[in-house]
Amino acid sequence: MISGGGTAGHVYPALSVIEALTDRGAPAATLCWVGSADGVEGTLVRQAGIPFESIAVSKIRGRNPLAALHGMWTMQRGFRQARRLVARFQPDVLFVTGGYVCWPVTLAAWRAGVPVLIYLPDIEPGLAIKSLARFARRVAVTDQAAQRFFRAGQTVVTGYPVRAELFSRDRAAARRKLGLPVDTELVLLVFGGSQGAHSINQAVVQGIRPLLAAAHMVHVTGRRDAQWVRDQRAQLPETLQARYHVYDYLEAEMVDALVAADLAIARAGASTLGELPAAGLPAVLVPYPYAGAHQWANARWLVNAGAALALPDQELASALVPAVLELLNDGPRRTAMSQAARALARPEAARSIAELLCQLAVPG
């Protein structure tokens, strides 16, 4: 049984682990994903052909007292639903990747004596993972920097499990698929997570002409800003429009975009810890300012390794374009950052977590 949701960063690592489990011979019929009805996970999981069950879930932290009370009632309902699912499915092990939906599922599994493996995709855990770690047998972490948040001996450093294609996709083929020059131009990738990032979109559009003069751009805007960005693109000369590739969202093609690019502008969500190293892609990171400390912790991990630069969100308007242009014009520095990123990659991460799940599923 798998539980995780809220963002693609909670879903894609688990899908990579499921692929590794399948490679070991675990049939898909033995899998069940428990998520929220309105989260991004339902669509992604069903597309992967995995049985999906939804339960009631609600945020509690940061709400006014009345909303918090309603949230607690919703979570209690979700717990009852999770208990029924655990009783019906009778899992051998529960794999948790984060998000509020994991609370009722983890508690239901723990009460039923089901061993729990948590995977922490970020460098620092959020409230859900911190609260649930006491119910987990083991916690898999992306890097040893995360071990200090858990009890001694509980963690295993596995790395971040990513889609296997990131290690094998051909760069020239990826560029052709996206309609980009194969080897004569630089490519800048801009993305802000599954929902996009309005402040990044604004700063990029503000500096679009010098950026397009330096590189072709693949801009993943998020659905809310897609039409606005396309309207801005339409005002450019045709020569610049041809260098500006705008998408509201990419799923399978995101692998091509990561492999095709020479530099990225991105938030510092959990996926950047796995996908940027796997693609060897240097980046300018802009941590989301309202996500507690965890995005800054993620950014610092990549910055300290020499794989990225980080900018505060409030400085984007003045600092983003100069920083990006400086990197686009400095090939040796980008090469060094790319090598530093690749050194962080752990191609065996999904297999390592799959092995842990199989060990926990065996009684005794």
What's the chain's average pLDDT?
90
CATH code assigned to 165-344? 3.40.50.2000
- pLDDT given at position 36: 86
User: Quick one: average pLDDT of 96-124?
Assistant: 93
Higher per-residue confidence, 184 vs 318: 318
- pLDDT given at position 315: 95
- pLDDT given at position 98: 83
pLDDT category, 114, cuts 50, 70, 90?
Answer: very high
Residues 250-275: tens digit of each pLDDT: 988 999 999 999 999 999 999 999 99
- 327: Cα separation from own chain's centroid: 24
CATH 3.40.50.2000: which residues of the chain? 2-160+347-361, 165-344
Beta bridge partners of residue 141, listed in sequence order:
120, 157
- 355: which residues sit within 8 A by CB, 6+ positions away? none
Question: How far lies 312's CA from each of 146, 270, 319, in Å?
Answer: 23, 17, 9
Residue 26 has pLDDT above 60, yes or no: no
- If you count DSSP H runs as helices and E runs as strands, how many of each does the chain have, helices first? 17, 13
| Percent of the residues in the chain that have a pLDDT greater than 70, as a whole number | 91
Whole-angstrom Cα distance, residue 333 to residue 330? 6
Architecture of domain 2-160+347-361: 3-Layer(aba) Sandwich (3.40)
- pLDDT given at position 25: 57
Lowest mean pLDDT among 50-64, 110-124, 195-209, 268-282: 50-64
Residue 28 has pLDDT above 50, yes or no: no
The closest alpha carbon to 243, from 210, 218, 206, belongs to 218
Lowest mean pLDDT among 56-65, 106-115, 253-262: 56-65
Question: How far lies 22's CA from each of 28, 35, 38, 354, 355, in Å?
Answer: 7, 21, 27, 9, 12
pLDDT category, 291, cuts 50, 70, 90?
Answer: low
Prediction pTM value: 0.91
User: Quick one: average pLDDT of 181-197?
Assistant: 87
User: Quick one: average pLDDT of 195-211?
Assistant: 92
